[in-house]
Structure 1
Amino acid sequence: MEFRLTAPLIALVGPTAVGKTALAVALAHRLDGEIISADSRQVYRRMEIGTAKPSAAERAAAPHHLIDLCEPDEAFSLARYQDLALASIAEVVARGRVPLLVGGTGQYLAAVLEGWQIPRVAPQPALRAELQAEAERDGGARLYERLAEVDPMAALQIGPTNVRRIIRALEVYLVTGEPISTQQTRQPLPYQIRTIWLTRPREELYARADARVEAMIAAGLVEEVKTLVAAGYGWHLPAMSSLGYIQFKPYLEGETALQSCIERLKYDTHSFIRRQGAWFRRLPQLEQWAPGHPEWVG
């Protein structure tokens, strides 16, 4: 693998359980690089197993950034992630090392690699609560209609089922008076980007994901979820409603058997894997690596 020496930025992306972490550590050694996480759940402290954070040995083997940034009940925005990621990339480059942006959260990856100019509108709790109440009362479709009236481009991009993003787009419009779509411009990054999309055959990927779920259960995932709930972190939080955690709510509330929740987690992980590709294929300077690629080691 050859990289030009003037400010490269390597993005290593791919679906859950494809093998990003092992390859990232291997490339960090080979390229004198540092790993910058692009995972929306690994930013939360106390959530180790369900988020598949790199192990202590992996973190010792290569520098990792943007892991364990906030508590599970702390708001963490896309804009905050982008600011931290760009600062980390610049710091790694200033040290004369290669930044490796590694993860599977497509929106995080796109925001950084495509140079999104994100509206800096702070969360408005009262407004969000009002919009959420409206969605619960009248249905998400009505809220989506409101967005389509004031920002048809954002409505088209978000779709009618993502209530959280619909609320955010309406929040930005109601605070600024400007559609969020007109505020989301692009600014090219001053780096030589190379995006490597790791892929595997679908059935192999599902099998790997299922095996990882079983390993998480053996490692104590259920106890981790119990501990978070006992500490007062509610299911309404983005951290607790994420993949690997919300699936255990029925079990902890005595509504179903543990095995049913485990099977639900496997099923939801497969669904998540299918959706991830929609983000990856839009990323710049993209190439795909499949098993057997001569550079895929680790």
Structure 2
Amino acid sequence: MQNMITILGPTASGKTSLAAALAADIDAEIISADSRQVYRCMDIGTGKDLEDYNINNKHINYHLIDIVEPGTKYNLFEYQQDFFSAYNDVVSRKKIPILCGGSGLYIEAVLNGYNLVAVPENRILRDTLESKSLDELTEILIQLKKENGSNMHNSTDVDNKKRAIRAIEIETYYKINSQVKECHYPKIKSTIFGIDIGREERRRRISERLKQRLNSGMIEEVEMLLEKGITPQDLIYYGLEYKFVTKYIIGEISYEEMFRSLEIAIHQFAKRQMTWFRGMERRGFIINWIDYSLPLEEKIKYIKTVCNG
């Protein structure tokens, strides 16, 4: 398969603008690796920054953004399928694919060719789990993973009950259906670049961007989603901006609490992203780190030098 370029990094590190500028320079197309930008109408909160895909009046083609309706539960299995459809489309037209995003699980899944199973909803199981606390659900999940010997790519964050219940649902399915048929995907050869941004600068950019998004209509965006009939619980499921802004809108927390809690949550999220990327290196991936402070032209020059070397 044709080699791909991957650009990863924590939130607010400038991945999209770099990927778009590089794509314009080498006539490439971008495949998004963001677990929330797949949702339509969720633009400000997910940081789509679609204006970044226009370089000197030239539109850069992008894929896997705005592909599913808000309120649905898009998952890694679906992402793998959609990624390979986009990837094959790009390379069939002799274009270079640039995988760009901060969802480390999605990136690693497609690069390593994880073999996953489509797990259906188990309504009976969900009903029995609904009354349990998050701590109880976490304990159940830990035990199931131990029994299944689950790998990291089968894990789901347990930052709220819905995610924990879905993770238990997946592990329960694997336990009962030990002979399930997996979808097999090839590993993808890719030269990987990471944006290396210092902790303090990252924190400054996150806080600055949060204020900008709130001033640019992020609250109104969530209000619009609620008016479209998406439940508060479904929006809270998406975490971060949608979780805390929804809680503010429905009166659970004040504006000050929303801002403070959201700021902390995004900082913690960025830290977890970097932990994942460092873990990728321990698992054998070579990431060429690029200093965030370099001018855009220097970053592009470095990427081209490494890729051509």
TM-score range relative to shorter protein: 0.7 to 0.9
Partner amino acid, structure 2, of 1:177: S
2:197 aligned to which of 189, 196, 200: 200
Corresponding residue SS for 2:241? coil
Are the structure 2 counterparts of residues 237 and 10 from structure 1 closer, same or farther at C-alpha, using a change threshold of 3 Å?
A: same
Q: Following TM superposition, by how much is the alpha carbon of 1:72 offset from its aligned partner in structure 2, in angstroms?
A: 1.2
Task: Please state if 1:32 is matched with 2:27.
Answer: yes
Alignment of 1:35-114 (within 5 A): 35-56=30-51, 58=53, 61-114=59-112
Query: Any conservation in 1 of the 2:3–2:96 contact (CA below 8 Å)?
Result: yes
Unpaired segments of 5 or more residues in structure 2?
302-309
Partner amino acid, structure 2, of 1:296: K
Number of corresponding residues: 288
Structure 2 length-normalised TM: 0.82
Alignment of 1:1-298 (within 5 A): 7-56=2-51, 58=53, 61-121=59-119, 123-130=120-127, 132-133=129-130, 135-136=132-133, 139-144=136-141, 146-148=143-145, 150-154=147-151, 158=155, 161=158, 163-164=164-165, 166-177=167-178, 188-189=186-187, 191-237=188-234, 240-281=237-278, 282=280, 284-293=285-294, 295-296=298-299
Please give the per-residue CA displacement for 1:10-53, whole angstroms capped at 9, x wherever unaligned: 11000000000110111101121000000010011111100011
Please give the per-residue CA displacement for 1:207-252, whole angstroms capped at 9, x wherever unaligned: 0111111110111001111111222212332675321111123321
Corresponding residue SS for 2:233? coil
Corresponding residue SS for 1:69? coil
Are the structure 2 counterparts of residues 111 and 238 from structure 1 closer, same or farther at C-alpha, using a change threshold of 3 Å?
A: farther
Q: Following TM superposition, by how much is the alpha carbon of 1:295 offset from its aligned partner in structure 2, in angstroms?
A: 3.5
Give me the whole-angstrom Cα distance separating, in 1, the residues matched to 2:145 and 2:6.
34
Query: Any conservation in 1 of the 2:235–2:242 contact (CA below 8 Å)?
Result: no
Please give the per-residue CA displacement for 1:42-95, whole angstroms capped at 9, x wherever unaligned: 011111100011324625631010011111122312111111111211111111
Give me the whole-angstrom Cα distance separating, in 1, the residues matched to 2:274 and 2:113.
20
Q: Following TM superposition, by how much is the alpha carbon of 1:133 offset from its aligned partner in structure 2, in angstroms?
A: 2.1
Partner amino acid, structure 2, of 1:101: L
Are the structure 2 counterparts of residues 237 and 175 from structure 1 closer, same or farther at C-alpha, using a change threshold of 3 Å?
A: farther
Q: Following TM superposition, by how much is the alpha carbon of 1:135 offset from its aligned partner in structure 2, in angstroms?
A: 3.8
Give me the whole-angstrom Cα distance separating, in 1, the residues matched to 2:90 and 2:19.
15
Partner amino acid, structure 1, of 2:85: A
Query: Any conservation in 1 of the 2:20–2:52 contact (CA below 8 Å)?
Result: no
Give me the whole-angstrom Cα distance separating, in 2, the residues matched to 1:219 and 1:249.
16
Query: Any conservation in 1 of the 2:24–2:60 contact (CA below 8 Å)?
Result: yes
Query: Any conservation in 1 of the 2:11–2:102 contact (CA below 8 Å)?
Result: yes
Moved more, 64-73 or 225-234: 225-234
Are the structure 2 counterparts of residues 239 and 98 from structure 1 closer, same or farther at C-alpha, using a change threshold of 3 Å?
A: farther
Partner amino acid, structure 1, of 2:24: H
Are the structure 2 counterparts of residues 211 and 47 from structure 1 closer, same or farther at C-alpha, using a change threshold of 3 Å?
A: same
- Root-mean-square deviation (Å): 3.0
Query: Any conservation in 2 of the 1:37–1:64 contact (CA below 8 Å)?
Result: yes
Corresponding residue SS for 2:240? coil
Query: Any conservation in 2 of the 1:233–1:240 contact (CA below 8 Å)?
Result: no
Give me the whole-angstrom Cα distance separating, in 1, the residues matched to 2:156 and 2:69.
30
Q: What is aligned with 1:3? A: none
Moved more, 126-135 or 110-119: 126-135
- State the percentage of identical aligned residues: 30
Are the structure 2 counterparts of residues 229 and 128 from structure 1 closer, same or farther at C-alpha, using a change threshold of 3 Å?
A: farther
Moved more, 275-284 or 132-141: 132-141
Corresponding residue SS for 2:171? helix
